[in-house]
Structure 1
């Protein structure tokens, strides 16, 4: 039996970096194809317990069990969006009120700036016209981009369920393919990696759903207390958009402020909305994320933020959503391959015991 080649560190490091850069480059140029596949993979892992239950316990054929799983998931998602669309249609009836209150609110802002900063209303309007001139000039290009994005979204909504069905149907086929790729001696490692990936992704997605529910309830409660109309709808939208890192909560705040104009244009209501969003975000970032998300995905904050930024730059909102589970999968693989174990440690949130001991000792001395 031939001995494996042991490369020195200065030779292994470039090979590892080149491999990672190659995967990143392939993802960037093929994101339109790869992103739906990865989304379907995550959903198939989430639905795997239901598929196994139907296939093994209730003796459903594999194709029927996979089809039922996809249909149940599609009905659940469709139910949420039907509820939102119904409420949005109801809100559209108040469009004239929103328009009237928005005009009154903008007028109040103009007066506030005039009284406190000595800038006339005419100068303010002139400045706004100059700022928005380029946006109006590029309106056709923006409309074209929006149409392309909408068509891509519709295509993804069609192809992702199909991919999810195929992942569930050919689950064992894919596992046997991976087993054929590696030596028989490493099959136990492969089994451990696949098991941990399934557990990690399941825990992460369930944690996201739980976080979404808690954020929706807290936001709805806060909006109800301050007297905002459609508080249930706005709370649900906030919870859904909160799944998108960074930009989601900002978009939810803007939508909530616009929706609050169905009632009145009082500045106190808008200030209350900002306070509610701030409090919910403080609870989410300091309680829910550490308790629910970080306990399931052992990735440190630095790597998480970098991954989200890179994912957003590579594939937009879908890339930001996929960043954390993909990092979790990489960490599981790195932790179980001896030559890559230091990289898994770098991605984790472990603190060396001697540093913990020094911190405790410093606290005692102080």
Structure 2
């Protein structure tokens, strides 16, 4: 354990809260720079076994081993994107069918609203026209935001591989830097922290990929059973988007419903799609996440949800994705520093079997 200077309890709390708030503020104002660096760090940890294998077993130079590792990762991502693009082009060929079925579906919905909510077709169309006018007014701002998002995405796709390459090249340099910051008697603790971070982050990413594969297979199987076209593509998209907490599965459901209109506009098919998504999510949340994810990252649900919300508010989808591994790293550090150990316990998911306060009654004689 790293021994710290003894301070009053209120001073410790104040320092910890000020440090966390400062780190959060720095992350918020520098998210455009920090987020790609953190994403590259996760990718570098994932590729570290491949880099070590090439560098140690095959005695490749560090630069060549790093380049091959990054190229392997990029090839996997590009392969998935090419498959999705190829399938999406097929869906685009069915656009006329989608438009026809979508109009038929909207007519059915309007009839349902008219029959159950006494809202005439004219009133519904007027409301739709008003919404369309508002959309046109905000169109320029939306288009500008979309262009900025696309440009940021392209920049990240370029710079993250570069950062990953540099992390792999300068891995030992960074470790030595951390060792120089800490006294020699605490080097064993530092080594333990770094090893645990590598294992925890690596296991988390691998578990996330495994969860994505299982969710993709289950969704594709369910869509195939109910007769949805492009079930393989939609299953893969659902698995990928499921990696984004909360909003990912909802977005995947909207895409699946839209793609199902290539075959039929029947409401029963759309209801079946929703049922498939709900069943897959129940399996994911109650079996896959506890068995695969939570067993690798020992963070309780409350801290995870708060961290994901804060990450989303600070840096959008990237922040939500980074929240869990960053919390896991913080917990590893907290568990190995004596003054921060209670916070590590608070973040964990170890539930005591039984805990009761025992208060002795003291009789005061006058």
Task: Give the superposition deviation at 1:134.
Answer: 2.4
Deviations 1:37-84 (A, max 9, x none): 000000000000110000001100000000000000000010000000
Residue in 2 that maps onto 1:361: none
Residue in 1 that maps onto 2:103: 103
- Match of 1:167, SS? helix
Task: Give the superposition deviation at 1:130.
Answer: 2.4
Does residue 327 in structure 1 map to residue 322 in structure 2? no
Residue in 1 that maps onto 2:359: none
C-alpha distance in 2 between matches for 1:282 and 1:129? 38
C-alpha distance in 1 between matches for 2:110 and 2:5? 73
Residue in 1 that maps onto 2:131: 131
C-alpha distance in 2 between matches for 1:297 and 1:30? 27
C-alpha distance in 2 between matches for 1:187 and 1:253? 49
C-alpha distance in 2 between matches for 1:24 and 1:135? 34
C-alpha distance in 2 between matches for 1:187 and 1:107? 69
1:181-220, aligned counterparts within 5 Å?
181-220=181-220
Residue in 2 that maps onto 1:113: 113
C-alpha distance in 2 between matches for 1:45 and 1:60? 19
Residue in 2 that maps onto 1:310: 310
1:101-180, aligned counterparts within 5 Å?
101-180=101-180
C-alpha distance in 2 between matches for 1:95 and 1:262? 8
Residue in 1 that maps onto 2:338: 338
Query: 2:84 touches 2:233 (CA, 8 Å); kept in 1?
Result: yes
Structure 1 residue runs without a partner (length 5+): 357-366
C-alpha distance in 2 between matches for 1:291 and 1:5? 40
Does residue 252 in structure 1 map to residue 252 in structure 2? yes
1:10-21, aligned counterparts within 5 Å?
10-21=10-21
Higher relative contact order (CA 8 A, sep 6+): 2
C-alpha distance in 2 between matches for 1:80 and 1:310? 30
C-alpha distance in 2 between matches for 1:5 and 1:344? 19
Query: 2:4 touches 2:338 (CA, 8 Å); kept in 1?
Result: no
Q: 1:325 to 1:4 in 2, by over 3 A?
A: closer
C-alpha distance in 1 between matches for 2:266 and 2:199? 49
Task: Give the superposition deviation at 1:125.
Answer: 1.2
Structure 1's consecutive aligned runs of 4 or more residues displaced over 4 angstroms after TM superposition are none
C-alpha distance in 2 between matches for 1:253 and 1:192? 43
TM-score between both structures, scaled by the size of structure 1: 0.95
Aligned residues: 354
C-alpha distance in 1 between matches for 2:354 and 2:111? 60
Residue in 2 that maps onto 1:272: 272
TM-score between both structures, scaled by the size of structure 2: 0.95
C-alpha distance in 1 between matches for 2:252 and 2:110? 25
